[in-house]
Every structure is written in structure tokens, then in C-alpha cells.
Amino acid sequence: MGFGCGEKGKYKGFWALVAATREIGLEISADKTKYMVMSRDQNAGRIHSVRIDNSTFERVAGFKYLGTNLTNQNCIVEETKSRLSLGNACYHSVQNLLSSRLLSKNLKIKIYRTVIFPVVLYGCETWSLTLQEERKLRLFENMVLRRIFGPRRDEVTGEWRRLHKEELNDLYCSPNIVRVIKSRRMRWAGHVARMREERRCIVSWWGNRREGDR
């Protein structure tokens, strides 16, 4: 839940939350309710707790929301690490299918894109990828593709070897995982840009235009 910009917006949001819960006969648990400050200013929100009425809310550097790890610096390192870990577990659960000789390559690719893909790319529309994170994602995808396409016999030595990256790119006709992420980010940006100005996404993205915030 976003409370707004600045200290006034933060306290106003907390009071609104307290009032809304009281209207329906509920109380906020201070032990379970935390808040986080996201700002370019490293010194923003130096006070580590907010006291509203008789409750004190702790400030945290990050938390998990709807299955996504959020941090005050908008760093996706932990999130991509978590997604790849979950994707790896999903991959191991279906690796026997991906290496089976009874299934076609096209069917194996469908298994990858419908079973493993959604696990790894959950929430990727908000990721700001670095080259290092892109490399990790490509390495994971290449691992899965090598399981799908199997080894290849070397024409010179006659020995079996694993496929190179260029060979995987030729065999895998669909867009790679990094291109898919960038495409989804652009689609999400267009979706947000078409929203009405009072929507929370627009306020978080552009600030309150009436007050001149950016």
C-alpha cells in the first residue's frame, strides 16, 4: 500500500489506514505492520519508527509483497535470486520430461514456457535488469535448453558434447528470456501510461502533478 510523498503524506496515509480499519471494527497489529521509505535521497526517513495513536510502526529496508521482494533501493538482486531458485526447483521437478525420448522437442519447449517460465518471470514487468542479472537469466535458460535439445556428437572427434550458446540460439526459435522481460516491461509501461491520473500507479510513477512533484 502506498501512502504518498514526504513526511506529511506518510503520516496522512497511516491515519487514513487506522481510521479505515476502525470503521469496520478492526485494529491494526503493530507487530505485523511495517513501512518502507523509497527515495533517491539516502538520508530520507531517518526516523526508524512512526507512532500513530498508541501504535508504533517499524521502518524496514525491504519486505515481500504478493510474492515479490521489494527493497527501499528498488534493487532486484534478491528478487531475481529468489525467482531463479524457484525456477531451478521447478526445472528439477520436470527434468525427466525434458530429457525424455518419448516427447518431441516442441512439446518440451511448451513445458518450459508454460511450467517454468511463469515461475521465473513472476513480476518481471517492474525489474530494472543489469548486465549481470541478464547473464544469470540467460545461463538459467541455456541450462534448460541443453536439457531439452540434448548433447551433440562432435564431427571431428566423434565425442558427445554439450551445445554451445550459438547452437542453442539457432535451435530455440522463440525470443530469449531477456527479450521477453523487456517486452513485458514495455507493455506494462504502456498500460500504466494509459491510466487515469488519480490511479495510484500514476501517482507513484509521475508524482502529484497538481502539486508539481516529479
Give domain limits for the chain: 6-60, 74-192
Residue 214: predicted pLDDT: 43
- Which residue bears the cell 497489529? 29
Please, which residues bridge with residue 69 across strands?
64
d(CA 107, CA 102): 10
Residue 161: predicted pLDDT: 87
Cβ neighbors of 36 (< 8 A, separation 6 or more) are 59, 60, 61, 62, 63, 70, 72
Residue 114: predicted pLDDT: 95
Q: Are 122 and 67 in contact (CB under 8 A)?
A: yes
Residue 10: predicted pLDDT: 66
Name the 3-class secondary structure at 7. Answer: helix
Residue 87: predicted pLDDT: 95
Report residue 74 CA to chain centroid gap.
11
Residue 205: predicted pLDDT: 59
Q: Are 120 and 183 in contact (CB under 8 A)?
A: no
Q: Would you give per-residue pLDDT tens digits along the chain (214 residues)?
A: 555 555 666 667 777 777 777 788 877 777 777 777 776 665 554 556 677 767 777 777 777 778 777 777 777 888 899 999 999 999 999 999 999 999 999 999 999 999 999 999 998 988 888 999 999 999 999 999 999 999 888 887 888 888 889 999 999 989 999 999 999 999 988 887 787 776 766 666 565 544 444 4
Q: Exposed, middle or buried: residue 74 (CB in 10 Å: 0-12, 13-18, 19+)?
A: exposed
d(CA 149, CA 170): 11
